[in-house]
Amino acid sequence: MKFNRVVIKVGSALVAPDTKGCSGKYLLAIARFITQCQQAGKEIILVSSGSVAAGRGLIAHGSPNPSIPTKQAMAAVGQMKMMANWQRFFDVPCSQLLITHGDLKDRQRYINIKNTLRILLENGVIPIVNENDTVATDELKVGDNDNLAALVALVSEADSLFILSDVDGVFEQDPRINPQAKLITEIAKIDDSIYAMAGATNNHIATGGMKTKIQAAEKAVENGIETYILNGSRSEVFEKLVHGENPGTHFVAQEGAKRARKHWLKHTLKSNGKVTLDHGAVNALTKKGASLLPSGVIDVTGEFKVGDCIDIIDGQSNRHIAKGICQYNYRDLKRIQGKKSDEISILLGCCPSKVVIHRDDMVMLSNI
């Protein structure tokens, strides 16, 4: 088991196991594992449930099934407690990202989330993501944090997804009914037979069960992300992870994450414009693996928007050498072409990005 950038989803049963608010009962072992990963040079993004559970005892409701406005109020007060609870376990800073499905569907906001996560990781900050329950309506909700974690793994270009709950993984039968049921340690293909093994959750504060975890795994593995369902209530699970062992159920990625993304960039995305580069920029991209800076751009063609794919042209040979996702629209890029990154704020009044195309959003073509 190898991973470099991993999204770790922590369920409500681990954040607030007694349903009376946040607890460190299980989070201490999780935090210790995250710290070990960071010390080993790995990047961690947390997707944490628990804001509603954390605020449940602070908002009067009188029902095991509170109304939507009541749950939103619980989330509003509980989110503060949940974040404070996480931060106390780390010496490095944590950050809060509250997002909805609408944020992930909107191209500009998707790029903003991606850039924010990238910068946080570059600065050693732990991003903690949760659905924005206080404002999300049904049509904007992802619905559960298992699937949200899979979407965060996609936008952050993680190579692995760990879904932590209070279950060991996927069993051939329901272990609550048959204690002798066997744990399935590896699943190479997710089909109806796998979904048939998923039982309903018996935790009234959780929004998902095994079915949503398998749904999340399916989203992730289809995009080349290795996915594991693990029991986060057992400290020995993290000891095994540190030693490269699989202590739960491993869903095998269909294709390497980086390779899958490069293939998507190269063959699926349609280019809506192009930029022509000077010799220095071409050399930086082809020889040094650099991102594209505005100083190397000598011409901009087409009417493209932020987040559109554009072609990258060698100004000397007129060859098409690469393509990638642009951080600027064509109007703004024309204003900053040939300029240094430090001049962007002066020219545009703000600096959305110091690079035109980040290396992670670029694919070099084989004909160079």
Residue 284, pLDDT score: 96
Q: Whole-number mean pLDDT of the chain?
A: 88
The pLDDT of residue 233 is above 90: yes
The pLDDT of residue 206 is above 50: no
Residue 108, pLDDT score: 83
Q: Which residue has the higher pLDDT, 211 or 1?
A: 211
pLDDT band at 53 (very low <50, low <70, confident <90, very high): confident
Tell me the torsion sign for CA atoms 355, 367, 107, 138.
Answer: negative
Spans of all domains in the chain: 5-256, 269-364
Give which of 113, 124, 122, 187 is closest to 153, Cα–Cα.
Answer: 113
How far apart are the C-alpha atoms of 219 and 151, rounded to whole Å? 8
Tokens of 343: 């001049």
The strand pairing partners of 48, in sequence order, are: 10
How far apart are the C-alpha atoms of 9 and 286, rounded to whole Å? 37
Specify the amino acid at residue 335.
R
Q: Which is it for strands 226-231 and 249-251: parallel, antiparallel or unpaired? A: antiparallel
The pLDDT of residue 231 is above 70: yes
The arrangement of strands across the sheet holding 43-48 comes to: 94-99, 126-131, 43-48, 5-10, 160-165, 226-231, 249-251, 186-187
The pLDDT of residue 204 is above 70: no
pLDDT tens for 110-141 read 889 999 999 999 999 999 999 886 665 554 45
Domain over 5-256 is classified CATH 3.40.50.150: no
The strand pairing partners of 96, in sequence order, are: 128
- The pLDDT of 247-267, averaged and rounded, is 82
pLDDT tens for 1-13 read 789 999 999 988 8
Per-residue b or e along 104-116, where b marks 16 or more CB atoms closer than 10 Å to that residue's CB? beeeeebbbbbbe
pLDDT above 70: percentage of residues in the chain? 92
Domain over 269-364 is classified CATH 1.10.286.10: no
How far apart are the C-alpha atoms of 21 and 31, rounded to whole Å? 18
Residue 359, pLDDT score: 92
Q: Return all residues near 339 (Cβ < 8 A) that are at least 6 apart.
A: 294, 295, 347
- Residue 183 gets which letter from DSSP? B
Q: With beta carbons less than 8 A apart as the criterion, state whether 246 and 184 touch.
A: no
pLDDT tens for 338-352 read 999 999 999 999 999
Comparing 151-160, 242-251, 266-275, 314-323, the range with the smallest average pLDDT is 266-275
